Amino acid sequence: MELLLTKIVTALILPPGGNLVLAATGLLLWRRARLAAGVLLLVSVVTLYAFSMPTLGNALTASLERVPARSPGAPVDAGVGAIVVLGGGRNDNAPEYGGETVSAASLVRLRYAARLQRETGLPLLVSGGRVFDSDPGAAEAALMGEVLEADFAVPVRWLEERSRNTAENARYAAQLLAAENVAGIILVTHASHMPRAVAEFEKQGLRVRPAATGRGPYRAPTGGLGWLPSSAALDASRAALHEYVGRVWYRIRY
Residue range 20-74, pLDDT digits in tens: 999 999 999 999 999 999 999 999 999 999 999 999 999 999 999 999 999 999 9
Element (H, E) at 246: helix 231-253
Cβ 81 vs Cβ 184: under 8 Å: yes
Note whether 96 and 201 are within 8 A (CB): no
- Domains, the chain, in order of start with CATH, read 2-64+228-253 (no CATH), 80-213 (3.40.50.620)
Query: Between β-strands 90-94 and 99-102, what pairing exists: parallel, antiparallel or unpaired?
Result: antiparallel
Angle subtended by helix axes 140-151 and 104-120, to nearest 10 = 50
Please give the pLDDT value at position 208.
98
pLDDT value, residue 47: 98
pLDDT value of position 3: 83
The residue ranges of the chain whose pLDDT is under 70 are: 218, 220
* pLDDT value for 218: 66
Distance CA 18, CA 43 (A): 11
Sequence-distant (6+) residues with CB within 8 A of 118 are 154
Q: How does strand 184-190 pair with strand 158-160? A: unpaired
pLDDT digits (tens, 9 = 90+) for 225-234: 889 999 999 9
Are the CB atoms for 12 and 21 separated by under 8 Å? yes
CA distance 103 to 90: 4
Nearest-10 Cα torsion for 10, 47, 240, 233: 120
Long-range contacts of 134-138 (CB under 8 A, 24+ apart): 136/92, 137/90, 137/92, 137/99, 137/100, 138/100
Give ∠ CA 151-68-10 in degrees, rounded to 5. Answer: 75
At 115 the pLDDT is 98
Q: Which residues contact 50 (CB under 8 A, 6 or more apart)?
A: 56
